[in-house]
A and B are shown apart, each in its own frame.
Chain A
């Protein structure tokens, strides 16, 4: 295997396939990250400032706050699952670059 210093990293970076991977991945990660942070902080903010909504009975003994807290778990798992699926595409894109790294990055 080649050493890090033997590869022309700038060339790999400039490769359109890497640029495409980088752009798609970064946009995807930022979007998901912002969504997850906003959704999480809705819980303490809601519990403190929208207490009446959180106390509202939805069905039987279950109130809105309880459902919302439980939804945090579902959403967290959902994000993890969605990312795992999407990351497979990124893996595919990266695989090609890894395979051809020595060719693209030959000094």
Chain B
């Protein structure tokens, strides 16, 4: 047995006991049924580890490590893109949003699909035709390689780190909520697994892990939706059932508060299928839409996938497959979310996780027969395991993207000036993978308990404001040059981050304290009303009031905690009492700024070489002349 096999076995030996050890902490799965969860988890880990073991034998050169030797087919890559893209946020998050907010949650999902039109029309094929391993390879084609590789790599590492942190923290919380494993242990388990895939199997294993995950995700969703339809009917009947569902009506009444008083139950139900329950600021939605539609094309881990196929035609095919899978998935999510709103109900969903992330898993449990049945728990365990695979697959893609920027762009390109042997390149890639992986685990643990939801939005903001303008203009604008790329990368990144730092995403102690004070002040009156309900003798009313009392206790405890926590501070991390910039999503401002920076930078810098190389780049990106052939090795 060689060294590599031993290491893979060692990684498995480390992970399996972690996930199969008996735990006392509470999760969505009852202790009695945890063995079901662990069996499903172990099966998925076993299969992906076997794939890694096989893949490890095929990874010999840098091209194998970064791009699977360019030998991935369009269909395979389409599934892998879906697996790379459908993060836990979109799988669990959007179903959750729909289950709690109805129509607005569904509207939110649209931008995630439309984003791929940009990728398909202007990015995928040109990048395949002139690119090699990384985003900076495209930028370096006709610009000063050293300079653009440095700014390109920094931007790639920044975007990937934001995204990675959100995934690690989100993943840790998710696994903890689902099966009760400690947060730190789940972060380490995710980290070690992902490291094993990338380190040994490079892009070959990463691709297959992403394909397996996407197939599992789609299968699970189809099964759940068929079960939902069998209970609530297909399209028209289904929507009628949503409108007439008492849980849905109660949820809308709760959101509307006093405004719901004059509405009939059917009217309340209808509102669930209408806009503006959730999104109050249309400008913010448009800003987010811009970040999605332009940012996806600038996400390094997505761009990297186009280097794994042999030709532009296969790259095109892969985006079309990805759009079919991703779009189909979001349509299914509509039924999952609405199904969860009826079958489980918003209060129960938010009881486990206020953001709604548990909607799909709880729906699975309920459809299988509930928390006391084998089938119910098997289905919950299966969805939980799919969610876990989801996180690991996305994280693997991100780590590979960041490691390639570090090893291929910074080390090989800048420090060694391309004077390296093939073996040295692979070694550098593996060392960078370990560095990024260790960093991801450390950040994941350090960021415990932080609100990281806005980090995904931030990753998209930087990708759309820095990476996208630079890649687009170097491909399509003759005068674009090194000066423009440097200016675009720096200004795009800084403006996106700076705007988020002064936006409502940050915590403003003054506002938090004011809200907390209101809860504390209102406590006494609410308590009296609830006590009256309990004493009223009406059993149903009393039960409801007892539950509400529990929620009130929790809210008051949290409010008191907040008041104590921010006792001595009045300003945010940036020293602000209130947000300077009103939008949560900076795209509306930072994307035009990024483009402007590329234009101005290019015009001021003047670079004859970039213009001389234009014919070559433009002809190649359009025709694919000299594009690297598949299986070049």
**Could you tell me which A residues sit within 8 Å of B by CB distance?**
1-2, 4, 7, 9-10, 12-13, 18, 21-22, 25, 29, 32-33, 36-37, 40-41, 43-45, 47-49, 51, 54-55, 60-63, 65-66, 69-70, 72-73, 76-77, 79-81, 83-84, 87, 91, 94, 97-98, 101
Contact = CB atoms under 8 A, between A and B. Distances in A.
B106 interface: yes
Most chain B Cβ neighbours within 10 Å, of A21, A54, A76, A94? A76
B239 A44 contact: no
B619 A2 contact: no
A51 B103 CA distance: 12
B623 A37 contact: no
Contacts of B116: 76, 80
A80 B319 contact: yes
B620 to A, nearest CB: 8
B498 interface: no
B114 A36 contact: yes
A78 B286 CA distance: 23
B438 interface: no
Interface residues of B, number: 50
Given A47-B276, A62-B239, A79 B110 contact: no
Interface stretch (B22-30, B41-49, B320-328, B516-524): B320-328
A16 to B, nearest CB: 14
Pairs A-B, 4 closest by C-beta atoms: A48-B282, A47-B275, A61-B239, A9-B616
A62 B242 CA distance: 11
Contacts of A84: 316-317, 320
Given A4-B616, A80-B117, A69 B107 contact: yes
Interface stretch (B118-126, B159-167, B596-604): B118-126
Contacts of A49: 282
Given A1-B626, A94-B622, A97-B625, A48 B243 contact: no
Interface of B: 103-104, 106-107, 110-111, 113-114, 116-118, 120-122, 236, 239-240, 242-243, 270, 273-276, 279, 282, 285-286, 289, 293, 313, 316-317, 319-320, 323-324, 327, 330-331, 615-616, 618-620, 622-626
15 contacts: A32-B121, A36-B114, A41-B286, A44-B279, A48-B285, A54-B275, A61-B239, A61-B242, A69-B107, A73-B331, A76-B323, A77-B324, A80-B117, A80-B323, A101-B623
Contact of A18 (B106, B320, B623): B623
Contacts of A80: 116-117, 120, 319-320, 323-324
B239 A60 contact: yes
A75 B439 CA distance: 41
A25 B625 CA distance: 17
Nearest to B280: A48
A43 B117 CA distance: 16
Nearest to A87: B316
Contacts of B618: 13, 22
Contacts of A36: 114, 117, 121
A60 B118 CA distance: 35
Nearest to A54: B275
A9 B120 CA distance: 26
A37 B293 contact: yes
Contacts of B626: 1-2, 4, 7, 101
A81 B327 CA distance: 13
A107 B331 CA distance: 54
Contact of A72 (B104, B110, B236, B242): B110
A12 to B, nearest CB: 5
Nearest to B617: A9
A22 B478 CA distance: 14
A33 B123 CA distance: 12
A29 B122 contact: yes
A10 B622 CA distance: 14
B293 A13 contact: no
A97 B623 contact: yes
A73 B330 contact: yes
A47 B279 contact: yes
A33 B122 contact: yes
A66 B273 contact: yes
B327 A73 contact: yes
B110 A73 contact: yes
B114 A61 contact: no
Contacts of A22: 618, 622
A63 B271 CA distance: 10
A18 B619 contact: yes
A44 B327 contact: no
Nearest to A81: B320
A72 B330 CA distance: 12
Contacts of A51: 274-276
Given A9-B620, A47-B276, A54-B274, 19 more contacts: A1-B626, A13-B615, A18-B619, A21-B622, A32-B117, A37-B293, A43-B107, A44-B286, A47-B104, A47-B285, A61-B243, A61-B273, A63-B270, A63-B274, A66-B239, A73-B327, A76-B113, A76-B114, A97-B623
Best-surrounded residue of A63, A66, A80, A81 (most CB of chain B within 10 A): A80
Nearest to B616: A9
Report which residue of B117, B120, B236, B276 has the largest number of chain A beta carbons within 10 angstroms of its beta carbon: B117
B243 A33 contact: no
Given A48-B275, A49-B282, A79 B117 contact: yes
A48 to B, nearest CB: 3
A58 to B, nearest CB: 11
B103 A43 contact: no
Contacts of B625: 7, 12, 97-98, 101
Contacts of A63: 270, 273-274
Given A43-B107, A91-B313, A12 B619 contact: yes
Residue from B118, B236, B615, B618 having most chain A Cβ neighbours under 10 A: B615
Contacts of B275: 47-48, 51, 54-55, 65
A7 B327 CA distance: 42
A49 to B, nearest CB: 7
Given A60-B239, A61-B243, A77-B324, A9 B289 contact: no
A33 B118 CA distance: 7
B183 to A, nearest CB: 35
Nearest to A61: B239
A60 B234 CA distance: 13
Nearest to A72: B110
Contact of B120 (A2, A48, A83): A83
